[in-house]
Structure 1
Amino acid sequence: MKLLWSIMVLLIILLQVRLWVGEGSFAQVWSLEDAIAEQRAENSDLALRNERLFAEVKNLRGRQDALEERARMNLGLIREDETFFLVVEK
């Protein structure tokens, strides 16, 4: 009878070890949940960035003045009838 109880206690301990350590354990599940939360946060940031970029592309495709403004600011382009003045500060 003592042998049977010893075997049952040993099996319960082995099952508990598997529950707390190893593949499919609570520790692994918790770390995967943390990784999922981090990935969702990163995905939401990237989705917001994508929305801003799509809005900018739509604006550049639809309006000529937006394209012209972009060329002036980023590339330093000017029109034929304009004069370029460069102000240098100390």
Structure 2
Amino acid sequence: MKWLWAVMVVLVLLLQVRLWAGEGSFAQVWSLEDTIATQRAENAELGVRNERLYAEVRNLRSGEGAIEERARINLGLIAEGETFFLVVDP
């Protein structure tokens, strides 16, 4: 009967070790939950950035005003009949 108790104790200890330190253990699950939370936060940031880019694409496709505005800001476009003034701070 003593050997049966000894075997049972060894089995319980082995199961506890696997529960706390082995594959699929609590430590591994907590680590994976942290990784998932980090990835979800990054995905949310990238989702916001994608929405801004989609809005910009829709704006550029919708009309010529957006394209002209981009050309004025980035390329220094001056339309016919306009006068360009450059103001320099002293």
Q: Is the TM-score greater than 0.5?
A: yes
Residue 29 (structure 2) pairs with residue 29 (structure 1): yes
In the alignment, residue 30 of structure 1 is paired with which amino acid? W
* Shift in Å, 1:32: 0.6
Identity %: 72
In the alignment, residue 53 of structure 1 is paired with which amino acid? L
Encode CA deviations 1:36-55: one digit per residue, 9 max, x unaligned. Answer: 11111111111111111111
Which residue does the alignment assign to 1:89? 89
In the alignment, residue 50 of structure 1 is paired with which amino acid? N
* Shift in Å, 1:3: 1.6
Listed as ranges, the matches of 1:12-27 within 5 Å are 12-27=12-27
In the alignment, residue 67 of structure 1 is paired with which amino acid? I
Distance across 2 between alignment mates of 1:11 and 1:88? 83
Unmatched runs of 5 consecutive residues or more in structure 1: none
TM-score of the aligned structures, taking structure 2 as reference length: 0.88
Range 76-85 or range 47-56, more displaced:
76-85
Runs of at least 4 residues of structure 1 off by over 4 A? none
CA RMSD of aligned residues (A): 1.3
In the alignment, residue 46 of structure 1 is paired with which amino acid? L
User: Number of residues paired by the alignment?
Assistant: 90
* Shift in Å, 1:16: 0.3
TM-score of the aligned structures, taking structure 1 as reference length: 0.88
* Shift in Å, 1:4: 1.5
